[in-house]
Structure 1
Amino acid sequence: MANVTMQDQVVIIGAGIGGLSAALLLAARGFGVTVVEAAGGPGGKMRQVTVNGHPLDAGPTVFTMKAVFEQLFAEAGLDFALAVPLRRLDVLARHGWPDGSRLDLHAEREASRDAIATLAGAEAGRLYAEFAREAEAICRSLEQSFMQAERPSPFGLVRQAGIGAMLRTKPFSTMWSALGRFFPDPRLRQLFGRYATYCGSSPFRAPATLMLIAHVEQDGVWQIEGGMHVLAQALRKAIEGLGGVFRFGQRVDAIEVQNGRASGVRLANGETIPADFVISNADRAALATGLLGQEATRSVPPLPRGGRSLSAITLSGRSRFSGFPLHHHTVLFSADYPAEFAALDSGIVPADPTLYLCALDRHGAVAPEGEEGFLMLINAPARGDEAGAGLPEIETCHRLLSQALNRHGLALDPGPTPPVLTRPQDFAALFPGTGGALYGMATHGAMASFQRPGSRSRLPGLYLTGGSVHPGPGVPMVALSGRLAAEALIRDRASTRRFLSTGMPGGTAMRSALTAGSG
Structure 2
Amino acid sequence: MARTRIIVVGAGIGGLSSAMRVAHAGCHVKMFEASAAPGGKMRTIPSKSGPVDAGPTVLTMRGVFDDLFEGCGHTLSQHITLDPEPVLARHFWPDGSRLDLFSDPEASAEAVDRFAGPQSADDFRRFHAETRRLFRAFEAPVMRQARPSPAALTTRTLADPALIRAMAPLSTLAQRLGARFRDPRLAQLFGRYATYVGGSPYRVPALLALVWQAEAQGVWRVRGGMHRLAAGMADAAAQLGVEIAYDAPVARIESGPAVVLADGTRHTADAVIFNGDPRALRTGHLGPDPQTAVPRSAVHPRSLSAEVWAFAGTPEGADLHHHNIFFGADPTTEFKPITHGAAARDPSIYICAQDRGTGRAPPETERFETIVNAAPISEDEEPTPCFNRTFETLASRGLTFRTRPDPSARTTPQDFAALFPGSLGSLYGRSPEGMLATFQRPGARSKMPGLYLAGGGVHPGAGVPMAALSGKHAAEAILKDRTST
Residue 104 of structure 2 is matched in structure 1 by 108
Determine the structure 1 residue equivalent to 2:344: 350
Task: Verify: 1:420 aligned to 2:414, yes or no.
Answer: no
Displacement of 1:363: 2.3
- Matched AA of 2:175: S
CA distance in structure 2 between the partners assigned to 1:384 and 1:52 by the alignment: 36
Structure 2 residue 396 is matched with structure 1 residue 407:
yes
- Partner of 1:374, secondary structure, is strand
Residues 278 and 166 of structure 1: CA distance in aligned 2, closer, same or farther (over 3 Å): farther
Partner of 2:443: 454
Taking structure 1 as reference, are residues 153 and 170 closer, same or farther at Cα in structure 2, changes over 3 Å only? farther
CA shift, 1:53, in A, is 6.3
Which residue does the alignment assign to 1:370? 364
Q: Which residue does 1:507 correspond to in 2? A: none
What does residue 510 of structure 1 align with? none
Alignment root-mean-square deviation, CA: 1.7
State the shift of 1:384 in Å.
Answer: 6.9
Match of 2:310 in 1: 316
Match of 1:140 in 2: 136
Query: Structure 2 CA distance, aligned partners of 1:415 and 1:225?
Result: 26
Question: Which 5+ residue runs of structure 2 have no aligned equivalent?
Answer: none
CA distance in 2, matches of 1:266, 1:340: 43
Q: How many residues align?
A: 483
Q: How does 1:86-235 map to 2 (within 5 A)?
A: 86-160=82-156, 162=158, 164=161, 167=164, 168-235=166-233
- 2:42 aligns with 46
Contact kept in structure 2, 1:317 and 1:419, CA below 8 Å? no
SS in 2 for 1:444: coil
What SS does the aligned partner of 1:307 have? coil
Residue 445 of structure 1 corresponds to: 434
Residue in 1 that maps onto 2:482: 493
Q: CA deviation at 1:154?
A: 1.0
Partner Cα distance (2:297, 2:421) in 1: 14
Q: 1:169 to 1:390 in 2, by over 3 A?
A: closer
- Kindly indicate whether the alpha-carbon contact (under 8 Å) linking 2:374 and 2:413 is maintained by their aligned counterparts in 1: yes
Does the C-alpha gap of structure 1 residues 483 and 6 become closer, same or farther in structure 2, counting only changes over 3 Å?
Answer: closer
| Percent of pairs with identical residues | 44
Say which SS state the counterpart of residue 38 (structure 2) adopts: coil
CA apart distance, 1:153: 1.5
Cα 1:215–1:6 shift into 2, 3 Å:
closer
Q: Give CA-to-partner distance per residue, 1:361-383, whole Å, 9 cap, x none.
A: 11238441310000001011101
Shift of 1:165: 6.5
Q: Secondary structure at the match of 1:279?
A: strand
User: Shift of the alpha carbon at 1:339?
Assistant: 2.1
How many Å apart are 1:170 and its aligned residue?
Answer: 3.5
1:465-496: CA deviations, max 9, x gaps? 11111000000001000000100110000000
Question: Matched residues in 1 for 2:84 and 2:384: separation?
Answer: 41
Corresponding residue for 2:456? 467
Measured against aligned partners, the alpha-carbon deviations of 1:285-306 in whole angstroms (never above 9, x if no partner) come to: 0011111111101110125886
CA distance in 2, matches of 1:35, 1:88: 32
CA distance in 2, matches of 1:473, 1:38: 21
Cα distance in 2, alignment partners of residues 412 and 66 from structure 1: 33
SS in 2 for 1:213: helix
Greater CA drift, 313-322 or 418-427: 418-427
Give, in whole Å, the separation in 1 of the partners of 2:416 and 2:409: 13
Say whether residues 1:248 and 2:242 are aligned partners: no
Return the alpha-carbon distance in structure 2 between the equivalents of residues 466 and 171 of structure 1: 27
**Larger CA deviation: 168-177 vs 249-258:** 168-177
Which residue of 2 is the match for residue 477 of structure 1?
466
